[in-house]
Chain A
Amino acid sequence: MAPWQGLTNNDTVDFDVTWGILEGALREIHAKNASKLSFEELYRNAYKLVLKKKGEELYNRVSGLEQELLRENVRSRVVQMVTSPLILGASGEQVGGQAHQRRADGERFLGVLKNAYKDHDICMKMITDVLMYMERTYCQDQRHPSIYAMAMALFRTQVLRSPATDQSDINVMAILESAILDMIAMERKNEIIDRPLIRACICMLEELYETFQEEESSKLYLTSFEPKFLESSRIFYHREGQDLVANADAGTFCRHARKRLREEDERCQQTLSTLTDQKIKSVVDKELIGAHIRDVINMEGTGVKHMLDNDRLEDLSNVFDLNSRVDPKKAALKDAVQKRIVSLGSEINNMSSGAVVPPPNNASEQAKKEEGEKDKNVNQQTASAIKWVDDVLTLKTKYDRIWEEAFKKDSNMEKALEYSFQEFINANQRSSEHLSLYLDEYLKKGAKGKTDLEVDANLDKGILLLQYIQDKDHFENYYKKHLSKRLLQRKSASMDIERQMISKMKMKVGNTFTQRLESMFKDMALSEDLTKQYKTHVAELGDPDTTRIDLEASILTTTMWPVDSMVRRNEDGSTKTACIYPPVVENARKRFEHFYLKKHSGRTLSWQPQLGSADIRATFTKPDGKTKRHELNVSTYAMVILLLFNDLPADQCLSYEEIQARTSIPENELCRNLQSLAVVPKTRILKKDPMSKEIKPGDKFYFNESFTSPYMKVKVGVVSNAGSKAENSDERRATKRKADEERGTTIEAAIVRIMKQRKHLPHQQLIAEVIQQLANRFQPDVNMIKQRIESLMEREYLERGPDPSKPSYTYLA
């Protein structure tokens, strides 16, 4: 026989004897006496049984033993801890009082159960060690569950799912679950509970499964406890939501909701299981937040409207977060914010239009009288226009800050804000005019009391508003008008800033209208050059005449400037204005015109005496013989009037009619200028007889030798023609009519452009394309587009498409 036989076991192995040894050992292990046992011996015994093909029977014996131990020892220990409060709690009966008793009982019960489980776990691992040979042999390929798995399943059936009392069929598991839920309910009322204890029991539920397969989804935690937890939480938050909405204010509600979310998060981390995290948050979202957020947002007195008005950024931030959780579009919040902005914006609109006093439809004498008052109202209107822009910008700044800090720069909210601002700004018919007046104010010399930096900032803000305005062509018209006044009256604070404005506008809005504005600047530059050339020309003529007049001319290209606002056209449509100039002035005028026409033959110059100014050196002789010299800056008409008095002997006067005859100045201009020269207190260059405020036929005018002024240079402003002001309603109507005409032309041009390219288009598409092309300028009225199409068809630019059921058009070359 070979020497390597080793010690093969030929002796028969007695199963019962061997099992006796093992059984005794297993009981000792459960009694925590493992240290007295020999691993080697136990292992060897089990090993031999397996080699003798008794492994399966060994497995069954072990299973039977565990079952017995669990049932007899473990279960009874656990069940001892079941008290009647716990049973009542588990059967669903609400026991109001005895809360502390119930909690103490619950903690004791949980403690015993937890320890029983822990002990079982440890013992089974140790038993697995000694029985490993059997397990390797018989538990491979899942023919039998491992010893550990088998034992854990037995724990579930023998302990957890066993009846808790002899009377009812409430099992131990139910007691456990209701005790835990009870404690959680207490914690939600801010009581302290034993979190680690609960966690240990929850871990037990996570480690036990419904079946031997031990699939994730069959964890007892997920199949049994979690659904109960979620349901009880649902009921809790449902009730709490209703209570809060009825009793708390919006800010408190939101803070509380946040607190609950944090709580549940912590609960899943520390007490229950992270598996439940998303699910419990969904419950809170649905029952607490989703069900009530709209009501909270719209709550009287404390809701979003109140928060916005009082800059409650933190509260708004809470509302934003909460709304985002249940609605990614934040519809409820958006609605409230938009409503508020439009409401505040409408207030701003109403405030500015509240300054309007409608002009009465009276005869011209009344009209002259009221013009003074009208003018005062109009100045108020200008001030209120500027205030309108300021108010809108303030509102914008406020809501921008809210958007940044409370709404986390959310793009949905950004669009909503934009939309609401656009809504109320464009609801105001006069927003373009207001904006232009605002900009005009800051572009003129002496923007009241502001530093250069402030002015620049204000201009930038103004440009911001421009983007909201839909009718940009209206804005262009106003801006042109105001710009021309600034340029011609040399009222611009700085040409650089003016040009900067144009380029800023170009950047934000495109260069369709900045083109025309730029040519106005070009005219001014050219005129400057021309004047210089003229001066050189005159100097070269030799013979410096001391009475020669220094002429500065500004030549405006008719099409580029807002001529209609500056001039009244004559019946023949020309812009020539009558005026008889004093000879000296007439000479200078003729000479310049000659000079110009030589350079640019084929052009016509029409002089505009209602614009422009003159600097006159005037000498006043006092009664005591002393003379005082003043330099007077007056309007052109005023200059013409004053020069009449040059040849007049002292003590002689000119009557109103005489002045009118000799100057041909139109009536209302004449009155206004005479008023500024003879009525306005500080600039009474002329004496009026009688000394009344009104200029009437029959009035007489004398040169006022006793005129005094503390200043050497005296500016005689013409009543109510200085500067830009708001339009009265007549002017406004006229502007609108003209704008509509222009729009018609622009629309036609767009239609032709589109049709030429596409040759053939269905009706709807043509309308859509026109709107899209013009979006940057203004929002065209669909009816207007239709009218223009008809008109173009009449003029045979287009014809109708072939199929009458599908309206379309074809381009006619």
Chain B
Amino acid sequence: MTLAFESPEENALHLPDTSRFADFTINCGGYSWKTHRAIIVQISGYFARMCHGEYKEAVNQSVTLKEDDPQMVARLIVFLYSWTYPMTGKDAKKSADSVRRLLASNDQAYQDQSEDENLLTFHASLYGVADKFECESLKENCQKAYIRALHGSFSIPDFISSINVVYETTPETDIGLRKWAVFVA
């Protein structure tokens, strides 16, 4: 297993794959990912509080996410490492690869969002996840992507289902997506 990559960003992208120095396990939907505390606490308030606290998870150094969608969580984890939104940017392919690697150990097929039509729903869902896990920068990225998608072409069903997601997964005080949805609607 080689460790030398071209840049720290590259390093970060690959880290979820390796178990070297991994000290925190995230279990979700049958998956079990070995992660590094030092990294996941950086931009996720949820993980920061969990790992620095005195609860069971801190003691056992692992958490089981009982009601979260592993597709979303995988993308969250990759974002925590690379700070890159999985959809856009020059590293999109690389993060897609990372996500694929995270999800490859299961039968569930990796769903490649770049070919999908339901992008609005995707962005909205990831926004909700980012909100729960207290990751502001991911939220911002989702919001931007959502807005960009709104400016492009989109399907109405996709739009409607994204609105559902927004209303279900964010509190009413959070208007980040609501205002855009309302605006367009």
Residues of B within 8 A of A136 (CB): 134
Does A40 lie within 8 Å of B165, measured CB to CB? Answer: no
Please tell me if A129 contacts chain B, counting CB pairs below 8 Å.
yes
Q: Looking at A39, A129, A132, which has the most chain B CB atoms within 10 Å of its CB?
A: A39
Does B63 lie within 8 Å of A40, measured CB to CB? Answer: yes
CB distance from B55 to the nearest CB of A (A): 4
Please tell me if B56 contacts chain A, counting CB pairs below 8 Å.
yes
Enumerate A233-274 residues with CB–CB distance to B below 8 Å: none
Closest residue of B by beta carbon distance from A37 = B55
Q: Given that A39-B63, A44-B66 are contacting pairs, would A4 and B54 also be in contact in the complex, using a CB cutoff of 8 Å?
A: no
CB distance from B89 to the nearest CB of A (A): 20
Does B125 lie within 8 Å of A4, measured CB to CB? Answer: yes
Query: For the complex, what is the distance from the CA of A36 to the CA of B134, rounded to whole Å?
Result: 24
Does A8 lie within 8 Å of B161, measured CB to CB? Answer: no
**C-beta contact mask, B162-177 vs A, less than 8 Å → 1, else 0?**
0011001111111000
Q: Looking at B66, B116, B118, B173, which has the most chain A CB atoms within 10 Å of its CB?
A: B173
Please tell me if B143 contacts chain A, counting CB pairs below 8 Å.
no
Residues of B within 8 A of A534 (CB): none
Enumerate A32-51 residues with CB–CB distance to B below 8 Å: 34-44, 47, 50-51
Residues of A within 8 A of B125 (CB): 4-6
Please tell me if B69 contacts chain A, counting CB pairs below 8 Å.
yes
Does A8 lie within 8 Å of B66, measured CB to CB? Answer: no
How many residues of chain B get a CB closer than 8 Å to chain A's CBs?
A: 43
Q: Given that A4-B118, A5-B165 are contacting pairs, would A40 and B173 also be in contact in the complex, using a CB cutoff of 8 Å?
A: no
**C-beta contact mask, A1-34 vs B, less than 8 Å → 1, else 0?**
1111111110000000000000000000000001
Find A7's partner among B69, B134, B164 (CB 8 Å cutoff): B69
Q: Looking at B50, B54, B122, which has the most chain A CB atoms within 10 Å of its CB?
A: B54
Does A39 lie within 8 Å of B55, measured CB to CB? Answer: yes
Does A34 lie within 8 Å of B53, measured CB to CB? Answer: yes
Residues of B within 8 A of A44 (CB): 66-67
Does A40 lie within 8 Å of B169, measured CB to CB? Answer: no
Please tell me if B31 contacts chain A, counting CB pairs below 8 Å.
no
Find B69's partner among A2, A6, A43 (CB 8 Å cutoff): A6
Query: For the complex, what is the distance from the CA of A35 to the CA of B169, rounded to whole Å?
Result: 29
Please tell me if A140 contacts chain B, counting CB pairs below 8 Å.
yes
Residues of B within 8 A of A5 (CB): 121, 125, 161, 164-165
Find A4's partner among B121, B168, B174 (CB 8 Å cutoff): B121
Does A133 lie within 8 Å of B53, measured CB to CB? Answer: no
Please tell me if A137 contacts chain B, counting CB pairs below 8 Å.
yes
**C-beta contact mask, B26-63 vs A, less than 8 Å → 1, else 0?**
00000000000000000001100110011111110001
Please tell me if B111 contacts chain A, counting CB pairs below 8 Å.
yes
Q: Given that A9-B168, A50-B171, A132-B45 are contacting pairs, would A2 and B118 also be in contact in the complex, using a CB cutoff of 8 Å?
A: yes
Q: Given that A5-B165, A6-B69, A43-B46 are contacting pairs, would A137 and B56 also be in contact in the complex, using a CB cutoff of 8 Å?
A: no
Residues of B within 8 A of A38 (CB): 55-57
Please tell me if B16 contacts chain A, counting CB pairs below 8 Å.
no
Closest residue of A by beta carbon distance from B122 = A4
Does A2 lie within 8 Å of B157, measured CB to CB? Answer: yes
Find A40's partner among B50, B124, B170 (CB 8 Å cutoff): B50
Please tell me if B10 contacts chain A, counting CB pairs below 8 Å.
no
Closest residue of A by beta carbon distance from B58 = A39
Does A8 lie within 8 Å of B169, measured CB to CB? Answer: yes
Query: For the complex, what is the distance from the CA of A42 to the CA of B124, rounded to whole Å?
Result: 25
CB distance from B126 to the nearest CB of A (A): 8
Does A36 lie within 8 Å of B171, measured CB to CB? Answer: no
Enumerate B142-180 residues with CB–CB distance to A below 8 Å: 157-158, 161, 164-165, 168-174
Residues of B within 8 A of A137 (CB): 171, 173-174
Please tell me if B140 contacts chain A, counting CB pairs below 8 Å.
no
Residues of A within 8 A of B124 (CB): 4
Query: For the complex, what is the distance from the CA of A7 to the CA of B165, rounded to whole Å?
Result: 10
Query: For the complex, what is the distance from the CA of A689 to the CA of B129, rounded to whole Å?
Result: 142
Please tell me if B65 contacts chain A, counting CB pairs below 8 Å.
yes
Residues of B within 8 A of A2 (CB): 118, 121, 157-158, 161
Q: Given that A1-B161, A2-B161, A7-B69 are contacting pairs, would A40 and B64 also be in contact in the complex, using a CB cutoff of 8 Å?
A: yes
Please tell me if B72 contacts chain A, counting CB pairs below 8 Å.
yes
Q: Given that A6-B129, A38-B56 are contacting pairs, would A51 and B121 also be in contact in the complex, using a CB cutoff of 8 Å?
A: no
**C-beta contact mask, A117-158 vs B, less than 8 Å → 1, else 0?**
000000000100110110011101000000000000000000
Query: For the complex, what is the distance from the CA of A2 to the CA of B124, rounded to whole Å?
Result: 12
Closest residue of A by beta carbon distance from B46 = A43
Please tell me if B20 contacts chain A, counting CB pairs below 8 Å.
no
CB distance from A229 to the nearest CB of B (A): 37
Query: For the complex, what is the distance from the CA of A57 to the CA of B46, rounded to whole Å?
Result: 22
Does A129 lie within 8 Å of B49, measured CB to CB? Answer: yes
28 interchain pairs, CB-CB under 8 A: A1-B161, A2-B157, A3-B116, A4-B116, A4-B118, A4-B121, A4-B125, A4-B165, A5-B121, A5-B165, A6-B72, A6-B128, A35-B55, A36-B56, A37-B56, A38-B55, A38-B56, A39-B49, A39-B55, A39-B57, A39-B58, A40-B57, A40-B64, A43-B50, A51-B168, A55-B171, A130-B49, A132-B49
Apart from A8-B164, A132-B49: 5 A-B pairs, beta carbons within 8 A: A4-B118, A40-B66, A51-B171, A132-B45, A137-B174
